[in-house]
Amino acid sequence: MAALWTPERRYQTWLTVELAAARAMADAGLVPAEVRSIQPITFTAADAARIDEIEKTTRHDVIAFLTFIEERIGPPARHLHFGMTSSDVLDTSLAILLRDAADLVLAGVDKAREAVVRRAIEHKRTPCIGRSHGIHAEPTTFGWKLIGWADELSRARERMRRARHAISVGKLSGAVGTFAHLSPQVEESAMAALGLKAEPVSTQIVQRDRHAEYFSALALAGASIEKFAVEIRHLQRSEVREAEEPFGKGQKGSSAMPHKRNPILSENLSGLARVLRGYAVSALEDVPLWHERDISHSSVERVIAPDATVTLDFMLHRFAGLIDGLRVYPERMMENLQLTRGLVFSQPVLLKLIEKGMERQAAYVVVQRNAMRVWDENKTFRELLGQDPEIQKVLNSGELDACFDLQRELRHVDAVFDRVLTARAGS
């Protein structure tokens, strides 16, 4: 990913755009056929330094680039950039680079999702407690949690695919986009050669709502990774300890406390997601430019394009490695599930009472009354329910026991896995 954003790659892409445009113009008879003899240049760091040196005088990056090309190629280079404006090169080149970056991001999403699916299948039937508001709610499985992450990564992939399509658009319509010196046909021919679509209506630039969509898709993918990382951070807390980041031999958790094993990878991912959201906001700020264009977006994109794509690429690969190495503690998950002495089965009891004829509000009161006693007394929920006269009038011992059947609570796990994995296989 980082290699996409080197000066050498940038100038390579600019020349690719210039040559595609020149060949389309030659086909239309606008420039001499000799432009076809111009061969691509493999730009070196020395070439990039020379362009930078020229720009110190020109104070214009594209003119510096074209001056360098004339130095290198000679007379045929005078036909490059005919009827074009700088944004024709810059915006079209940026589209190519962002498109190629999107392909790497998509590969990273696939890698992360595959890691999550592997661990989800491994722990498909590993019971753990589900939490709402941070409080024990009802049983689930660790695999069920993970398969939800896999589904979310599928949505991230689809958003990124749409963003790739939206950004794969260039322009060759000249100053203010009126084709005063070229034609839509030349533009379409050049864009087809570059694997892009022509912007249907451009001004002097490709419209920046496209870029805002792209960077928003990056930020949303980062937000999902942060969501997963926050869950891992909570599960690694000492009083929870259901899962834990890999901790290598010789690794140290604290300069002061030798016992510490901290969720530093996940915390790092949380921080980077915040940076991505900032880049998305910056891209949104670029949408309302003055009239047919200004260049307030240019400085922003020089920062956020490489930084956002490299950041998310790093996050995806780090997350995949984190999931592959994640330590999972099923025994501790079961201990925590049983921590509230059966309270997590309160809803099955409530529903069974209603099913047997008790009014809902009355059933709620009797179940809650016994649940509150569990918090205060050293007794199990099942024990207290079995001693309650109102419960005894409605439920026999076997019916009450059935309300505490963990496997019954988790009986639909196969169906949910099939939904996620079958949908992905068919996409």
Known catalytic membership, residue 259: no
Q: 248: how many CB neighbours lie within 10 A of its CB? A: 8
**Mean pLDDT calculated for residue range 11-16:** 97
> Span 317-341, mean pLDDT?
97
- pLDDT(12) > 80: yes
- Please give the model's pTM, rounded to 2 decimal places: 0.93
Give the list of residues 6+ apart from residue 183 with CB closer than 8 angstroms, or none.
Answer: 28
- 39-53, 109-123, 234-248, 412-426: range with lowest mean pLDDT: 412-426
Find the mean pLDDT for residues 265-289: 97
Distances in whole angstroms, Cα of residue 232 to Cα of each of 150, 236, 238, 243, 315: 15, 6, 12, 7, 15
- The proportion of the chain whose per-residue pLDDT surpasses 90, expressed as a percent, equals 92
HEC string of 374-403? HHHCCCCHHHHHHHCHHHHHHCCHHHHHHC
Structure tokens at 240: 């929870």
Over residues 96-116, the mean pLDDT reads: 98
Which one is catalytic: 254, 296, 299, 397? 254
- 427 assigned to active site: no
What would the mean pLDDT of 295-305 be, rounded to a whole number?
94
Whether residue 426 has pLDDT greater than 60: no
Q: What pLDDT is recorded for position 247?
A: 81
- Catalytic choice (37, 132, 133, 427): 133
Separation between Cα atoms, residue 232 and residue 251, nearest integer Å: 19
pLDDT surpasses 80 at 405: yes
Residues 340 and 336: their CA atoms lie apart, in Å, by: 8
Is pLDDT of 98 > 70? yes
In this prediction, residue 423 carries a pLDDT of 74
Q: How far apart are CA 190 and CA 404, in angstroms?
A: 68
pLDDT of residue 249: 76
**For residue 141, what are the β-bridge partners?**
127
DSSP code per residue over 149-207: HHHHHHHHHHHHHHHHHHH-EE----GGG--SSS-HHHHHHHHHHHT-EEPSS-SSS--
Categorise residue 359: left if φ over 0, alpha if ψ from -120 to 50, beta otherwise: beta
Q: Can you tell me the mean pLDDT for 217-239?
A: 97
Burial of 295 (0-12, 13-18, 19+ CB in 10 A): middle
What mean pLDDT is predicted for residues 232-257? Answer: 87
Tell me, what's the pLDDT at 149? Answer: 98
- Asked if 225 contacts 310 with a C-beta cutoff of 8 angstroms, the reply is no
pLDDT of residue 354: 96
pLDDT on residue 160 = 98
pLDDT at 309 over 90: yes
Residue 281 clears pLDDT 90, i.e. is over it: yes
Domains along the chain with CATH numbers: 1-82 (1.10.275.10), 83-245+256-334 (1.20.200.10), 343-403 (1.10.40.30)
- Mean pLDDT within 368-394: 93
For CA atoms 412, 418, 421, 424, give the dihedral sign. negative
Residue 147, pLDDT score: 98
What is the amino acid identity at position 75?
Answer: P
| pLDDT on residue 427 | 57
Task: State the average pLDDT for the chain.
Answer: 95
d(CA 281, CA 212): 8
Residue 327 has pLDDT above 90, yes or no: yes
| 354/372 Cα distance (integer angstroms) | 20
Query: In the prediction, which pLDDT does 425 show?
Result: 65
Identify the band that residue 52 occupies on the pLDDT scale cut at 50, 70 and 90.
Answer: very high
- Is pLDDT of 390 > 60? yes
Pairing of strands 197-198, 327-328: unpaired
Give the DSSP letter string of 85-120. -HHHHHHHHHHHHHHHHHHHHHHHHHHHHHHHHHHH
The DSSP letter of residue 288 is: S
Please give the pLDDT value at position 324. Answer: 97
The percent of residues above 70 in pLDDT, for the chain, comes to 99
Provide the pLDDT for residue 130.
96
pLDDT tens per residue, range 124-137: 999 999 999 999 99
